[in-house]
């Protein structure tokens, strides 16, 4: 099975929660994936038809359960009930912020990288993914090294892959350095790879691959610039 990557803009609140309660990210991913795979899923219009347990959950989370009308779906309840069963202590600690977490899943601020995450890592760092680097290295470097995928803080570790995050302040720092990387410097890193032929996941060192790779680099630069302008944090998922 392929290892793919995705960048997702999220609120600083979600990241703060995830620092201490990592399972919050599982809840976020599970609900977000359902939302984006089923965009036409109807919203709940009234409390009638909801079970007593689901109404109880709403009252625990919201001062006024009616606030969930036209916002929540039955999918939200299903995932939340499962999460509550699996992580009852996490639920108790987090319930006052669960509505904000669910609202965050409605904002489709994601950049799908597919299998290009490893070649992008090389272009922005000049190293393969197994190199241990800080988030940013730009003093004394002809081209800045930006460790986008492995320089963040780990939330979920799956044999070296999983989910990392950058806080909003780190996103701003990364966006600023990314903005200074020129087309010429991206090309320089690519030509370096053509010569040294490093082993990159699902990538062939051929000249014809440069155009789409350059477009992906620009998409990453723009995505971070947008996140910084919104004051958002970032989730980096390689799985």
Does residue 115 lie within any of the structural domains? yes
Domain end marker among 48, 80, 104: 104
Spacing of C-alpha 186 from chain mean position: 23
Domain count, the chain: 2
Do residue 116 and residue 221 come from a single domain?
yes
Do residue 173 and residue 223 come from a single domain?
yes
Q: Are 197 and 134 in contact (CB under 8 A)?
A: no
Whole-model pTM: value is 0.89
Do residue 91 and residue 115 come from a single domain?
no
Spacing of C-alpha 76 from chain mean position: 19
Do residue 78 and residue 158 come from a single domain?
no
Residue numbers of the domain that contains 31: 16-104
Structure token digits, residue 122: 């090389």
Range 210-216, long-range pairs (CB < 8 A, 24+ positions):
213/116, 213/119, 213/120, 213/123, 214/183, 214/186, 214/187, 214/190, 216/113, 216/116, 216/120
Model pLDDT, residue 161: 86
Do residue 215 and residue 132 come from a single domain?
yes
Model pLDDT, residue 103: 86
Does residue 1 lie within any of the structural domains? no
Does residue 11 lie within any of the structural domains? no
Does residue 46 lie within any of the structural domains? yes
Domain end marker among 88, 104, 120: 104
Do residue 117 and residue 230 come from a single domain?
yes
Structure token digits, residue 139: 């003093």
Do residue 162 and residue 79 come from a single domain?
no
- Of 20, 16, 33, 35, the C-alpha closest to 237 is 33
CATH number at residue 158: 3.40.1760.10
Do residue 143 and residue 74 come from a single domain?
no
pLDDT (tens digit, 0 to 9) for every residue of the chain, 239 residues total?
Answer: 799 999 999 999 899 999 999 999 999 989 988 877 777 888 999 988 899 999 999 999 998 999 999 899 999 999 999 999 999 999 999 999 999 889 888 876 899 999 999 999 999 999 988 888 899 987 666 789 999 888 889 998 887 788 999 999 999 999 999 999 999 999 999 999 999 999 999 999 999 999 999 999 999 999 999 999 999 999 999 99
């Amino acid at each position: 099975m392929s290892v793919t990557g995705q960048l997702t803009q999220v609120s600083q609140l979600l990241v703060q929660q995830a620092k201490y309660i990592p399972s919050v990210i599982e809840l976020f991913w599970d609900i977000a994936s359902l939302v984006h795979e089923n965009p036409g899923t109807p919203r709940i219009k009234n409390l009638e038809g909801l079970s007593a347990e689901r109404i109880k959950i709403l009252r625990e989370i919201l001062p006024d359960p009616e606030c969930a009308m036209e916002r929540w779906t039955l999918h939200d309840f299903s995932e939340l009930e499962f999460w509550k069963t699996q992580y009852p202590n996490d639920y108790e600690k987090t319930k006052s912020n669960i509505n904000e977490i669910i609202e965050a899943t409605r904002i489709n601020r994601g950049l799908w990288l597919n299998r290009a995450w490893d070649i992008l890592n090389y272009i922005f760092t000049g190293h393969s993914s197994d190199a241990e680097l800080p988030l940013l290295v730009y003093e004394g470097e002809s081209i800045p090294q930006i460790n986008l995928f492995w320089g963040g803080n780990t939330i979920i570790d799956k044999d070296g892959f999983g989910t990392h995050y950058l806080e909003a302040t780190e996103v701003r720092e990364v966006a600023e350095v990314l903005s200074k990387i020129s087309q010429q410097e991206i090309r320089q890193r690519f030509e370096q790879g053509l010569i040294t032929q490093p082993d990159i996941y699902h990538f062939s060192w051929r000249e014809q691959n440069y155009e789409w790779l350059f477009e992906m680099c620009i998409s990453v630069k723009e995505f971070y610039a947008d996140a910084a302008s919104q004051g958002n944090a970032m989730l980096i998922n390689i799985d």
